[in-house]
Amino acid sequence: MSVSKICCIGAGYVGGPTMAMIAHKCPNIDVKVVDINETRIAQWNSDTLPIYEPGLDEIVKGCRGKNLTFTTEIDAAIKEADMIFISVNTPTKTFGVGAGRAANLEYVEKCARRIAEVAEGHKIVVEKSTLPVRTAEAVKRILSNASNGSTFDVLSNPEFLAEGTAIEDLLDPDRVLIGGERKEAIQELVDVYAHWVPTDRILTTNLWSSELSKLTANAFLAQRVSSINAISALCEATEADVDEVAAAIGTDSRIGPKFLKASVGFGGSCFQKDILNLVYLCEYFGLPEVAQYWEQVVRMNDYQKERFVSRMVRTMFNTVSDKKIAIWGFAFKKDTNDTRESAAIYVVRDLLLEKARVCIYDPQVTKQQVIQELEYVLSEGDNGISPAKRELIDNHVTFASSCEEASSDAHAIAVLTEWDEFAEVDFGKIHDSMKKPAFVFDGRNRLKQKNLVDSGFEYHGIGF
Ligand code: UDX
Ligand code: UDX
Ligand code: ADP
């Protein structure tokens, strides 16, 4: 048997692009992406997709209405599919046991229950969401109680795409990882990817290795960023230059050059969540030393964000109160409109708590999204947001539609996302429009080569 109908539950940053690529590369497979969120499905069916991702529009528009469908008809799609991907969100739990660390598996479990309830015949269920190791055990148990006597194989197929480069990563992945038990079921999924991925890059493992590899990969990547960020603090104290140090160590083939860019801190929906999840798992399995080791990666990241703001305050004569600060970029990295766990959220929060006035410009992030993030981060648990904090959002946050507008009359610019367009502005003109001395705090070292000092700026980067 070969797969002819795929259903993917969850039309998010992972499910949407991944299924679009499968549809694009496998014209013989009918792909349905389903979601409970009607607005999101409507966006996938519109001219403005819910996700900004270079190259995604062309691929979606090429297959949509042919072998790629976005729909809220979840049960019908489950029923007719041979293979069902679960690609729903697995956020950090905010309540109960493991709050702040463990993954909230509510949505995954709900999907499994739904599949158990409506499926008929034999289905291959694929975990695409990042899950704690041993989750497949729970999924299998739920599926074993299927209403219609249907049978299942459960596979783990974690996604390694990074936002901003999702299409490139999907087209030419370093590897595709498939974990499973029954050889024939694994082969069905191998055959899907083999439409475009060389088979030597399709790795197969047991279920648990696959589940754990995803968490481990993200933990290692985040650890490299925290490691170089830790060294950036030492560089600032010693006149070493972190970019020079990174280049020097990166030439060692055992270390390698990637993921050594010092920054204001890593963000995104995965790194922090997955490490906290790993920490929780280690504690659960009675390994407190291992838990503490990994937790330090997240702590270092928090420290890096705090350090960025305290350096700004210290440099600007120990006060930013009532000073306008231009924020260039709010997304957690360039080429995405995603703001989940973006360093910008925490930097802006801390600047607001210092009573600064921030003016934000990001080419892809909406005002509404920024406000939502700030409301969340300034809320105090179940009590919501206090009147004083609400006042900060209402009266100390404004939005601009360009770098120039954000910076006009400002005391400082904080570069928080490395958007390419930020390097292309007229810095002389911007300097003229600002209060003096005009400071640039570059959280991405993106403008380092632009010699901003020649335009009159006082320039501070990360780690030099
Ligand atoms: C190290 C550095 O590699 C070298 O660049 C530096 O100049 C001196 O320190 P060395 O200590 O001689 O060299 O050996 P290395 O190959 O780095 O191994 C160090 C230890 O790590 C050994 O005990 C080795 O068995 C262990 N190791 C290394 C592992 O356990 N796993 C690995 O994957 C690699
Ligand atoms: C990450 C993993 O890379 C990907 O394999 C996994 O599937 C999901 O999580 P993503 O979060 O989309 O992808 O982006 P990534 O490029 O990994 O960047 C994460 C954060 O680290 C960003 O905030 C980025 O700015 C920061 N980063 C990355 C650095 O600060 N320095 C670096 O050298 C690399
Ligand atoms: P990711 O980055 O992992 O793709 P997202 O939050 O972008 O995560 O997407 C997850 C999607 O899964 C959301 O659009 C959400 O509405 C959807 N979802 C969550 N639970 C269910 C469910 N039980 N049935 C269908 N869709 C769901």
Find out whether 357 and 325 touch, Cβ atoms under 8 Å: yes
Structure tokens at 92: 């950090």
What local confidence, expressed as pLDDT, does residue 241 receive? 97
Gap between the Cα atoms of 279 and 130, Å rounded: 15
Q: How far is CA 374 from CA 224, 355, 368, in A?
A: 28, 14, 10
Single-letter code of the amino acid located at 439: F
Judgement on whether residues 195 and 291 belong to the same structural domain of the protein: no
pLDDT tops 90 at residue 377: yes
Q: Does ipTM exceed 0.85?
A: yes
* Residue 402, pLDDT score: 98
For residue 52, is it within any domain? Answer: yes
Q: Residue 383 has what pLDDT? A: 85
**Measured distance CA(344)–CA(326) in Å, rounded:** 12
pLDDT at 92: 87
**346 vs 352: CA distance, rounded Å:** 10
The pLDDT score that the predictor gives to residue 380 is 86
Q: What CATH number did the domain enclosing 158 receive?
A: 3.40.50.720
Nearest CA to ligand 2 atom 5: 160
What does the pLDDT read at residue 102? 87
pLDDT tens-digit series, residues 98-122: 898 888 999 999 999 999 999 999 9
In a domain, 375, yes or no: yes
Determine, yes or no, domain membership for 246. no
Instruction: Look at residue 449 and tell me whether its pLDDT is greater than 90.
Output: no
Which atom of ligand 2 lies closest to the CA of 160? 7
Is the beta carbon of 17 within 6 A of some atom in ligand 3? Answer: no
Here the tokens at position 285 are 């399995």
**Separation of CA 12 and ligand 3 centre (Å):** 6
Q: Are residues 333 and 444 in the same domain?
A: yes
Picking from 172, 128, 118, 187, the residue whose alpha carbon sits closest to that of residue 149 is 118
The answer to whether residue 243 is domain-embedded is no
Residue 1, pLDDT above cutoff 80: no
How many Å lie between the centroid of ligand 2 and the Cα of residue 266?
Answer: 7
Task: Look up the domain containing 88 and give its range.
Answer: 5-205
Residue 133 — very low, low, confident or very high, per pLDDT cuts 50/70/90?
A: confident
Is there a single domain that holds both residue 160 and residue 290? no
Locate the ligand 2 atom nearest the alpha carbon of residue 13 and give its number. 12
Q: Terminal CA-to-CA distance of the chain, rounded, Å?
A: 59
pLDDT at 282: 96
Distance in Å, CA 221 to ligand 2 centroid = 7
Q: Does 233 reside within a domain?
A: no
Question: Same domain, yes or no, for 196 and 295?
Answer: no
Which ligand has the minimum distance to the alpha carbon of residue 161? 2
Q: What is the dihedral of CA 35, 37, 39, 44, to 10 degrees?
A: -20
Instruction: Report the C-alpha gap between 387 and 405 in whole angstroms.
Output: 29
Instruction: Give a yes or no: residue 278 inside a domain.
Output: yes
Per-residue pLDDT at 131 exceeds 90:
no
Q: Which of 205, 223, 245 is the last residue in one of the domains?
A: 205
Separation of CA 37 and ligand 3 centre (Å): 8
Contact 271, 239 (CB under 8 A): no
166 shares its domain with 295: no
Whether 38 and 176 share a structural domain: yes
- 283 and 196 housed in the same domain: no
Task: Look at residue 132 in the predicted model and tell me its pLDDT.
Answer: 85
pLDDT at 10: 98
Same domain, 443 and 352: yes
270 is catalytic: yes
Q: Which residue has 């229950």 as its token pair?
A: 113
Quickly state the pLDDT bin for 440 (edges 50, 70, 90).
very high
In this prediction, residue 267 carries a pLDDT of 98
* Domain shared by 172 and 308, yes or no: no
The total domain count for the chain is 2
User: How many Å apart are CA 136 and CA 151, to the nearest integer?
Assistant: 15
Please check whether residues 32 and 163 belong to one and the same domain. Answer: yes
SS (H, E, C) 49-114: CCCCCCCHHHHHHHHECCCEEEECCHHHHHHHCCEEEECCCCCECCCCCCCCCCECCHHHHHHHHH
- What is the Cα 372 distance to its own chain's centre? 17
**Which residue in the list 26, 270, 282, 359 is annotated as catalytic?**
270
Q: Which residue has the tokens 């905010």?
A: 94
Q: Which residues line ligand 2 (CB under 6 A)?
A: 159-163, 218, 221, 225, 259-261, 263, 266-268, 270-271, 332-333
- Residue 61 falls inside a structural domain: yes
The closest-lying atom of ligand 3 relative to the alpha carbon of residue 14 is: 4
Which helix H or strand E contains 205, and what residues bound it?
A: strand 202-205
The answer to whether 374 and 339 have CB atoms below 8 angstroms apart is: no
> Do 291 and 174 have their domain in common?
no
H/E stretch holding 441: strand 439-442
Given 163, 181, 205, which residue is the final one in a domain? 205
Question: Is residue 367 in some structural domain?
Answer: yes
Question: Which residue, chain included where needed, has tokens 């007719």?
Answer: 80
Instruction: Identify whether the C-beta of residue 47 lies closer than 8 Å to the C-beta of residue 54.
Output: no
Q: Which of 149, 182, 205 is a domain's end point?
A: 205
163 and 36 in one domain?
A: yes
Between the alpha carbon of residue 65 and those of residues 13, 31, 32, 266, the distances in Å are: 20, 10, 10, 37
Given a cut of 80, whether residue 21 has pLDDT beyond it is: yes
